[in-house]
Structure 1
């Protein structure tokens, strides 16, 4: 169980019952481990079992991701397709064939019958280097169905007028990678000549926001890849001081496994410290939430998803838990690469192949992956304090080209620490403003 101290009280979170309650005063002088020993025999527990989704009738797919090209006009040092990741594909001048795209869209349309909105996401490489192909894909999809929505993952380095018009015309969501201020961004996000890309990207963003302010406000959001030296507080200041970046953010971390990138950095131990910055931002977010600003503060994009999960947690949970951090392979997402091969998502690489555009989706492979993962959870995760909020996914068990379930346990302590910090935020806020998080609904924060 998790024992934590808020601004004013000491609490226990009981993962079996999903309860949060104040530690009795007579135990407040004890250490956390002593409280565990004293109170655990009196706290309700359950024989938890993990369940996986029933994929027997998984003939639906919610989202199709198309790898437009393997070519990229930048060479970010930490990129998963760089020389630092030997088990991933490399940058190459290769683009997906339009006939492959048509077959993938046709199958997706068949597999998404009855879904309110169909969604196609364009990925790379860098999709903006192939605007004509992206245009053809959108045009073909619209002919197949009238309920398509589109999104594009881009580095923002190229923003031709043709590209901008295409995005705006189709109201495509634009996910732009940027790592904070010029110093932080240019450290790793460099062009093919080794030059920083910040100034050019900001210039492009200014151009887009001035020409199409309504589109910019509603359709643009940012993705940051945090990597050592960590500068979360600097990112917070960057957000506060730049109206151009007052948009939704998605916080990502550089991929820590199967890589030589981390070892290649000549940095001090302090450069790898993240917890003190995280705590500082947590306290800033607490103050903002108490004052009714839980959704407009930058901390919302760092802590909001987990705090929301705590706020909306089941009050009387049963004994069965769904695997939280995992999507259903081939069902929630389906990624098609330049070869026409299917994978669960854009981060899969050559791992967990689920078929191809010629033979279709092999749902039996999905079932096998889900079965193995669920069985392992039922052996190793049934008493974990984070079992109801864990965001580990199948790809956390990727080691090289193999499915190695033990890999995901390398980061369990960090995940538990993340939950403990979110509980600290949650209770510290509610002690002063009990209604601060009532604004959260199940549809919040999905970007």
Structure 2
């Protein structure tokens, strides 16, 4: 029927009602009863099928419990938003976030960098204050009545253009008072140029900071070296620890990438946790098949086991009072999948745009340099509305691979750039990414179930 997803993990029998987001941790008899109901079996057929395996009274009770859940809208629920998608995609789009490529330059030479040492298929350049100022003006002018706006200072390496970052924050603070807006600034950095002055400024002005580190020293130094080959771990690690502490272990996260060279990435996550970091993200590399470090289909069983290992260890640590957040296991299960997110996804190309150092607009940072996706510039606005239109109609209801996937309302169709890079269209999905997303959601639900027992 495609309305539920069932799985077993770490001793838990879990039933997810896909459309409502309701999660049920059940015993064996209910688990098997639900499976038979999903096959379209009626009461008598279920009794016949399970008789001899479970006491008849338990089967009857399981059937009654399932009936109550169905009547209560918590099991086998229909998707009530499917018909609303047409109206949603016609709503007026406002821009609420910009990714400012403040520096197309970098002081590291990371092996997996999609930006080619910050150059993005082009040349090295730093954003001028004038271009950045115009970008903020564009955001204000195109944000409609939305008050809260977000600006991410990105690169390359943003600290290579730190003076302009500070000037733009100052300008933004002036403008938010004049236009009744509230800017939330964020910064992504590799930490090489990080110092006390920068940390103090960020702690005053940045709503979030992303600190790039891949985990264990040998893993990090192999994938994130300086251009001449030396590793960067020993330089950045103490600074990142100090920065995280100065932010009270909140409103930041350390972000790593795992590749085929460290399929045992749970060790990297736990290494970062052991160093004291409480907000951690270690994410799978997305790379062409020919790249020697790219993930392959045959790697999936190993990666799945790593996610299971990590989830089990996180339960232990949480119960011992030394828990931490792992970005990919953080899903909100309290109110079911967010209706807005299930329809809009990440907002790239519509609500969220990337700005190059010279002011060109692209759907997101991963499309920068792909000339066919250039949408306009911050001086003249959107000049290719057909691109925005294409992105606004990209959702889980238009993608064939999403229609039967239980995870569709949690990932909202996945990354458009990954789809384009692997299939030549934003209306497809990166298959290995989908497999990993499904596994992470299963682990996240199990983790919540285990901790709810306390």
TM-score (norm 2): 0.75
Structure having greater relative contact order (Cα 8 Å, sep ≥ 6) = 1
Q: Aligned pair in 2 of structure 1 residues 13, 174: CA closer, same or farther (>3 Å)?
A: closer
Report the equivalent of 2:323: 297
- Aligned partners of 2:89 and 2:392 also within 8 Å: no
Q: In the aligned structure 1, how far is the partner of 2:242 from the partner of 2:450?
A: 42
For residues 208 and 155 of structure 1, what CA distance do their matches in structure 2 show? 13
Q: Are the equivalent residues in 1 in contact too, given 2:353–2:361 (CA < 8 A)?
A: yes
2:389 aligns with one of 367, 391, 400: 367
Question: How many positions carry a matched residue from both structures?
Answer: 405
Give me the whole-angstrom Cα distance separating, in 1, the residues matched to 2:159 and 2:362. Answer: 23
- Match for residue 5 of structure 1? 8
Cα shift readout 1:306-341 (whole Å, capped 9, x = no counterpart): 3x3x34316xx9xx8863672223553221112311
How far is 1:174 from its partner?
2.5
1:123 aligned counterpart, secondary structure:
strand
CA contact (8 A) 2:101 2:357 kept: yes
Unaligned runs of 5+ in 2: 42-74
Pair 1:327-2:346 in alignment? yes
Q: Does the 8 Å contact 2:100/2:132 carry over to 1?
A: yes
Rounded to whole Å, the distance in 1 between the matches of 2:430 and 2:449 is 29
| Counterpart Cα distance in 2 of 1:197 and 1:338 | 26
* 8 A contact 1:330–1:344 mirrored in 2: yes
Q: Which residue of 2 aligns with 1:390?
A: 411
Instruction: Label 1:324 to 1:235 Cα distance change in 2 as closer, same or farther (>3 A).
Output: farther
Which one of 15, 18, 22 corresponds to residue 18 of structure 2? 15
CA contact (8 A) 1:175 1:223 kept: yes
- Per the TM alignment, residue 76 of structure 1 is displaced from its structure 2 partner at its CA by 0.4
How far is 1:282 from its partner? 1.2
TM-score w.r.t. the length of structure 1 is 0.76
Give the secondary structure class of the aligned counterpart of 1:80.
coil
Residues 146-201 of structure 1 show CA distances to partners (whole Å, capped at 9, x for unaligned) of 43332211100112555445434535633210111211211201001111000111
Partner of 2:326: helix, strand, or coil? helix
Query: Of 250, 254, 257, which residue of structure 2 is paired with 1:222?
Result: 254
- The equivalent of 1:340 in structure 2 is 359
Does structure 1 conserve the Cα–Cα contact (< 8 Å) formed by 2:127 and 2:358?
Answer: yes
C-alpha contact (below 8 Å) 2:134/2:378 kept by paired residues: yes
Match of residue 201 from structure 1: 236
Structure 2 residue 335 is matched with structure 1 residue 312: yes
Q: 1:181/1:103 Cα in 2 relative to 1: closer, same or farther (>3 Å)? A: same
Distance in 1, matches of 2:18 and 2:341, equals 14
Q: Which protein has the bigger helix share?
A: 2
Counterpart of 2:69 in structure 1 is none
SS at 2:428's partner residue? helix
Aligned counterparts of 1:119 and 1:27: Cα–Cα separation in 2? 46
Return the offset for 1:429.
Answer: 3.7
SS at match of 1:249: strand
Q: How large is the Cα RMSD of the aligned pairs?
A: 3.7
The structure with more radius of gyration: 2
* Post-superposition CA distance 1:242-288 (Å, at most 9, x none): 23xx24223322123x46434679x9x77982222211221123345
Residue 69 of structure 1 contacts residue 127 of structure 1 at CA under 8 Å; is this kept in 2? yes
Q: Displacement of 1:3 after TM fit?
A: 2.2
Q: Is the 8 Å Cα contact of residues 91 and 125 (structure 1) preserved in structure 2?
A: no
CA–CA distance in structure 1, aligned partners of residues 216 and 27 of structure 2: 46
SS of aligned partner of 2:409:
coil
